[in-house]
């Protein structure tokens, strides 16, 4: 073994040792006595009548003269833990007055539940329950009462998704949204694990920009000139603005990401983006999150490979870590969800050119509201038809007409198409858009002019081609659409805690 390899192994061992020591040294000890309901609570927990403490929100319950039972949920999973409180426990009468939504601390003893493997409306149940019977060792504390139980919006009955959006500040208490949030968290973790394990650097790109990455013009302006030009011709002098020029909320971090890719290799960003689209569809938001990797020394086919691998990795991660939530979605949102996800894992994505897709769609032209022709931008009905009806699996469509795509995409040899691709999935349509970037300065300038963009706004982007460029590619994935794919949720407004869309920015 060479000296170089020995040094590498030594560094790895030192890193592992440091990690283990740091993990031991910097434990978060404040909650060491608190158990999460998502922990494995079974007969292995029932040892020597050991006391266990839970701090949770009160779900549903009932009572009689002998005991009171409370269904607890702390948000760690959708499974409730049943707590049985004996009437002899101190302050028992106060417990009877509490309604749905109260917050408690219970310290009791776990016992095996008399009824095993319970299930109700797709909600798994624990095989154990917490009992409070002995005043000397058991107790509870009411942290926060429901002061207005009669007006509490989340009653015992189920609510439709439209109503839950109206009470977005409370809807995380519902089984549906809490499951979505846990899956969202898992996918965020999976995203970083996927790219970090492949040597990508995580980059924070700016949220305020002066460049329009997509060239669509659907951007939110950032300005401090609120009282300027409120009459007359309404012309705004942006030279007097905070940045001395017009600035916007970003629609993509890609252009900034390319700067760092040119110097440091494979990179990715994961953060919020904004589009001022007057859209009320089930697939669009004004504020959403995007995952955008940029791959050095790569072409379009490398990007297609990375996109497929990333989606499959995320699906597998959620199957392994959030099965209870997927079970809830399968029984309450989409029947057959888990089997569909496993099929995506086990099958290769279809790869087909835009031209061939148009030829296929023309065979079903009478099916669509929008006529099919070469050069058209595929509509949602076309995208879903390709993924749901023709191939019945995810599809990667590539080599689009250059007039449909952004200025930075690499021109193909036919001079009619660019090296661009979209990943289409059943029920949603497009979830990923990507391309190989144009690294030829002359061709890039030509595309900027053809798109009638301001050349001066992209001076820094053009310099990447002036001062030593290289082939590179990447994609953008709408995080909320990925959540739709994996949960079966049919409206993007239910995949983010506080949805922002046209006419709606509450909370």
Domain borders along the chain are 43-152, 173-494
Other Cβ atoms closer than 10 A to 308: 18
pLDDT on residue 154: 86
Q: What's the whole-number average pLDDT of the chain?
A: 87
Angle at 235 between CA 230 and CA 236, to 5 degrees: 85
Phi/psi of residue 295, nearest 5 degrees: -110, 120
> How many residues belong to the chain?
507
Q: Which long-range contacts (CB under 8 A, 24 or more apart) does 466-471 make?
A: 466/441, 468/262, 469/262, 469/439, 469/441, 470/262, 470/296, 470/297, 470/439, 471/297, 471/298, 471/299, 471/436, 471/439
Share of the chain above pLDDT 90, in %: 57
Using 50, 70 and 90 to split pLDDT, how confident is the model at 226?
confident
**Distance, C-alpha 403 to centroid of its chain:** 30
pLDDT on residue 372: 96
**pLDDT greater at residue 156 or residue 137:** 137
pTM given for the model: 0.88
Q: 43-152 and 173-494: same fold?
A: no
Give me the helices (H) in 273-420, please.
Answer: 300-321, 323-332, 337-346, 354-362, 380-384
Using 50, 70 and 90 to split pLDDT, how confident is the model at 47?
very low
* Nearest-angstrom CA–CA distance, 347 and 345: 6
Q: Could you report the per-residue pLDDT of 315-352, keeping only the tens digit for each?
A: 999 999 999 999 999 999 999 999 999 999 999 999 99
Thinking of the domain 43-152, which architecture would CATH place it in? Beta Barrel (2.40)
Is the per-residue pLDDT at 363 higher than 90? yes
The CATH fold of domain 173-494: BirA Bifunctional Protein; domain 2 (3.30.930)
Other Cβ atoms closer than 10 A to 422: 23
């Amino acid at each position: 073994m060479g000296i170089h390899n020995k040094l590498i192994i030594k560094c790895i061992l030192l890193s592992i040792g440091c990690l283990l020591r740091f993990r031991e040294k910097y434990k978060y000890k404040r909650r060491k006595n608190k158990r999460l309901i998502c922990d494995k609570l079974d007969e292995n927990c029932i040892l020597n009548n050991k006391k266990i403490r839970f701090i949770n929100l009160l779900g549903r319950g009932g009572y009689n003269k002998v005991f009171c039972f409370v269904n607890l949920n702390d948000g760690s999973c959708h499974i409730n833990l049943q707590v049985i409180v004996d009437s002899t426990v101190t302050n028992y009468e106060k417990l009877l007055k509490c309604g749905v939504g109260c917050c408690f601390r219970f310290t009791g003893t776990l016992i095996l539940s008399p009824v095993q493997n319970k299930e109700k409306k797709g909600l798994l149940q624990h095989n154990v329950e917490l009992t409070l019977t002995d005043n000397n060792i058991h107790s509870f504390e009411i942290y926060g009462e429901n002061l207005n139980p009669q007006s509490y919006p989340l009653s015992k009955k189920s609510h439709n998704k439209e109503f839950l959006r109206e009470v977005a500040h409370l809807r995380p208490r519902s089984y549906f949204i809490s499951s979505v949030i846990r899956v969202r968290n898992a996918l965020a973790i999976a995203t970083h694990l996927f790219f970090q394990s492949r040597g990508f650097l995580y980059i924070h790109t700016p949220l305020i920009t002066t460049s329009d990455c997509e060239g669509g013009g659907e951007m939110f302006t950032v300005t401090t000139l609120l009282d300027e030009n409120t009459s007359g011709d309404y012309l705004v002098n942006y030279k007097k603005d905070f940045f001395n020029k017009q600035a916007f909320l970003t629609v993509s971090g890609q252009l900034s990401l390319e700067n760092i890719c040119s110097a440091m290799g494979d990179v990715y960003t994961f953060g919020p983006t904004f589009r001022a689209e007057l859209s009320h569809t089930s697939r669009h938001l004004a504020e959403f999150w995007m995952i955008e990797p940029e791959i050095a020394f790569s072409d379009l086919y490398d990007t297609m490979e990375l996109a497929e691998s990333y989606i499959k990795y995320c699906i597998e991660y959620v199957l392994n870590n959030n099965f209870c939530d997927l079970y809830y979605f399968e029984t309450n949102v989409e029947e057959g969800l888990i089997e569909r996800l496993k099929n995506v894992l086990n099958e290769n994505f279809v790869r087909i050119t835009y031209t061939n897709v148009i030829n296929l769609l023309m065979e079903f032209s009478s099916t669509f509201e929008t006529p099919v022709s070469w050069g058209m931008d595929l509509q949602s009905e076309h995208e879903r038809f390709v993924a749901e009806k023709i191939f019945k699996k995810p599809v990667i469509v590539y080599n689009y007409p250059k007039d449909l795509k952004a200025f930075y995409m690499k021109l193909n040899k036919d001079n009619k198409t660019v090296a661009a691709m979209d990943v289409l999935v059943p029920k949603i349509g497009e979830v990923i858009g990507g391309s190989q970037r144009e690294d030829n300065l002359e061709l890039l300038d030509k595309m900027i002019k053809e798109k009638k963009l301001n050349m001066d706004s992209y001076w820094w982007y053009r310099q990447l081609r002036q001062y030593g460029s290289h082939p590179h590619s990447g994609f953008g994935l709408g995080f909320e659409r990925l959540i739709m794919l994996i949960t079966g949720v049919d409206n993007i407004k239910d995949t983010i805690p506080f949805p922002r869309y046209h006419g709606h920015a509450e909370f």
